[in-house]
Each structure stands twice: as C-alpha cells, then as structure tokens.
Amino acid sequence: MSKFANNSMAMLATISIVVLIASIIGFFNPGNCPVSTEVGWTSCQAIAEERRIASWALLLLSVVGFAVSFVRRRSRR
C-alpha cells in the first residue's frame, strides 16, 4: 500500500498557482474604468497595481513552496 506524506509546502504552492491562474483569468484593465472623483473610492490604477503585486507574490510563494518541497524530498533519500 502506498504511503501518504503530509507535504504542506507543496499544497500551499499548488493553491498559490490556482489563485494566480484565477487572477490572470479575471484580468483587470484600468483603461476600461470610468474616472471617479468620489472621495474614498479606490482608483482603477491602484487596483491594477495591487493585483500586479499580489500576482508576483503568489508566483514567488509557489516557486518557494515547490522548491522547499523538492529539497525536503531529496534530503530524505
């Protein structure tokens, strides 16, 4: 019977990749937004910048997660 191992970093990396893909599917174009002069509303450019930063953070998290998972697996052998 096969042995199941808890690989939390690989799970976290997989979830990060899925969220990154969902973010790319929901592409946000600030050029399509109307200009809002309301106080307290976030601008479309700010939303686009936050999504860009989040996408890079998710990509970095997934790469680090898979790397840690790979290193742990190689060190057990």
pLDDT in tens, 16-64: 999 888 888 877 777 777 776 677 777 888 888 888 899 999 999 999 9
- Burial (0-12, 13-18, 19+ Cβ within 10 Å), 14: middle
Task: Tell me whether residue 39 is in a domain.
Answer: no
The per-residue pLDDT for 17 is 92
Residues 6+ apart with CB under 8 A from 33: 43, 44
Q: For 64-72, what is the mean pLDDT?
A: 89
Count up the domains in the chain and report the number: 1
Supply the range of the domain harboring residue 74: 44-77
Task: Tell me whether residue 23 is in a domain.
Answer: no
Q: Are residues 13 and 61 in contact, defined by beta-carbon separation less than 8 angstroms?
A: yes
Task: Tell me whether residue 51 is in a domain.
Answer: yes
Task: Tell me whether residue 21 is in a domain.
Answer: no
pTM above 0.75, yes or no: no
The per-residue pLDDT for 5 is 63
The per-residue pLDDT for 58 is 92
